[in-house]
Chain A
Amino acid sequence: MIINGVTIDETFAEAFPMKATRAIITAQNAKWAMIAAQTMTGFATSVIACGCEAGIERVLSPEETPDGRAGVSVLIFAMGGKGLAKQLETRAGQCVLTAPTTALFAGIESDIKIPLGKNLRYFGDGFQIAKKIAGKRYWRIPVMDGEFLTEATTGQVNAVGGGNFLVLARSQPQALAACEAAIEAMRQMPNVIMPFPGGIVRSGSKVGSKYKTLGASTNDAFCPTLKGATKTDLSPNIESVMEIVIDGLTKADIDNAMRVGIQAVCDLGAENGIERISAGNYGGKLGPFHFHLQEIMA
């Protein structure tokens, strides 16, 4: 398949099941909601070492938030429910509770509840106040700028992590420009995050390593400097490869995000140095969810 001169490889991206939740952060203004959200989702690029993958889903207008203030919704993904709960709680406690004027709310309904502010309440040292409003429990925790309002729990849902595609370009600036265009388009899509810096990862990995202690290592088949030194997947004119990783609440959400992202790259086309779109295919070793590029773009 070729779109605007860009070859879409006949391959598939592999993704794996994760647990996810959504939290809504509000603040006195959009600036402080965003600061809290960025802090909460910091150092959360990959479960390999961060404990979770997190990102900003979108900015919310005051009409969309529970307390009528400016807000941001964040999505957090982890390999299991226990890990997700731990990450959510520590990040809420250290990054949102501490941020001036913020409040924190559940952003997703589910029968499985995980603590949001339920345990943060103890920071109130006995002065905390519970309020059950319309079936939801909130905690009011006295803090130095007034009161930190947080919902007690949020929902945990099954999700999909690790959807991806690779952009293969004739130069590094062209690969980056194409990925930036893709990220801009994909950020308009609901229920997904691209957890790597700016949504883009330049150090895509393969499963396993020659070193026994490592579960993942550099994806040498796509490293342009190794074209003559390893079993490469790159043609001679490809000088740079970048990857976009997508976590989504459902497979369909990732399908949609990949479609708009790949389309944005293809819109730039061969004339802007884009040669191919490929994907992290690990021969079925990584996960049960498969995203066939050509089917998605059909």
Chain B
Amino acid sequence: MSALTFTLKQQPAQRVDMSLLVCQQLQGLSITDIAALELQSGTRKLRVDELFTIDGSDAQHIIIKNSTDKLDFIGKELDGGTMSVEGDAGAYLGMSMKKGEIKVSGNAGLYAACEMKNGYLEVSGNVGDFLGAALAGNKMGMKGGIILVKGNAGQRVGDHLRRGLILIEGNAGDYCGSRMTAGTIAVMGNTGRYLGYAMRRGTLLLWNAPQLSASFNDCGAHTLAFLPILFNSFTALNSKFSDASVGFNRVQRYAGDMAEIGQGEVLVKL
């Protein structure tokens, strides 16, 4: 069976809610049934076949071709299977996904992987603000799984992060790891201002020295035994993180945010 492929015919006039086109929703449907599904776009509902040409039949492997940043909610609540996005993705990519895998060849918008529960999300380009964060007003962001961003990430990466792993090969914006309750964010590039703002627990793992707030206290230089295990877990990833030479176990440890309970940590490569 070939992958179920949606090829965007032309740039939509309004944003499109793609949340219906996930593996578990399309399982068992014929191409005719899928074509007749209606997607919300602005104030209108558009049939899938108005927007896309549809090929293939394997609903556990979905490909979206010619994708643009107007396609929101791709892979929302994905519960198994794989989704490949050729092009850019809009906001809320992989929101609340439970398991499975999403790969985007281009960039992704705001709130990518927000409140993600498990699974694997990979973005080859950049992502917008609130990667792996909680939705506005909610108290719990990403709760599990792995996010890999090969480009840069916007502000508030992992806001309210509860568990899971966010890997960023490029830079992260301001407020990276803000209000995080636990989990791990690793940034190979640079980080912005207010790193770990109000973080309670969790780990920010950095390759470059950050600009830290006064509410982070230096705990000294240490060799930490868990780091080699963490880096070993990256070996299967298609990423710079899988390169054994980028790993380290010697770090400068900062505890914070002391304005909160102060059980979080910023670990900076030495």
Contact = CB atoms under 8 A, between A and B. Distances in A.
Contacts of A130: 182
B222 A133 contact: no
Given A66-B229, A127-B263, A147 B222 contact: yes
Given A131-B226, A146-B222, A147-B222, A126 B182 contact: no
A146 B265 contact: no
A127 B228 CA distance: 21
Most buried by A among B144, B184, B225, B263: B225
B163 interface: yes
B146 to A, nearest CB: 10
A157 B30 CA distance: 47
A26 to B, nearest CB: 8
B201 interface: yes
A129 B265 contact: yes
B163 to A, nearest CB: 7
Contact of B203 (A66, A131, A147): A131
Interface in B147-164: 163
A149 B163 contact: no
B53 interface: no
A133 B225 contact: no
B223 interface: yes
Contact of B223 (A134, A138, A140, A146): A146
Contacts of A68: 228, 232
Contact of A140 (B163, B182, B226, B232): B226
A159 to B, nearest CB: 27
Interface in A105-130: 126-127, 129-130
Contacts of A131: 184, 203, 226, 230
B31 interface: no
A77 to B, nearest CB: 28
A66 B228 CA distance: 9
B225 A129 contact: no
Contact of A126 (B224, B225, B233, B263): B263
A103 interface: yes
Interface in A59-112: 66-69, 103
Contacts of A212: none
Nearest to B230: A133
Pick the most buried of A68, A126, A131, A149: most chain B CB atoms within 10 A of its CB. Answer: A131
Contact of B225 (A127, A134, A149): A149
A131 B225 CA distance: 12
Contacts of B225: 67, 69, 103, 146-147, 149
Instruction: Provide the main secondary structure of the chain B interface.
Output: mixed
A18 B245 CA distance: 45
Nearest to B255: A127
B263 A133 contact: no
Contacts of B182: 130
A33 B76 CA distance: 48
Interface in B17-72: none
Contacts of A138: 226, 229
A144 to B, nearest CB: 13
A149 B182 CA distance: 17
Contacts of B230: 131, 133
Interface string B178-191: 00001010000000
Interface in B175-211: 182, 184, 201, 203
B267 to A, nearest CB: 11
A147 B224 contact: yes
A131 B224 CA distance: 13
A67 B228 contact: yes
Contacts of A134: 233
Contacts of A147: 222, 224-226
B257 to A, nearest CB: 15
29 contacts: A66-B229, A67-B225, A67-B226, A67-B229, A68-B228, A68-B232, A69-B225, A103-B225, A129-B203, A129-B263, A129-B265, A130-B182, A131-B184, A131-B203, A131-B226, A131-B230, A132-B144, A132-B163, A133-B226, A133-B229, A134-B233, A138-B229, A140-B224, A140-B226, A146-B223, A147-B222, A147-B225, A147-B226, A149-B229
Interface of B: 144, 163, 182, 184, 201, 203, 222-226, 228-230, 232-233, 263, 265
Interface of A: 66-69, 103, 126-127, 129-134, 138, 140, 146-147, 149
Ranked nearest first, the 9 interchain pairs of A and B with the lowest CB-CB distance are A134-B233, A149-B225, A133-B233, A103-B225, A149-B226, A67-B228, A68-B228, A67-B225, A133-B230
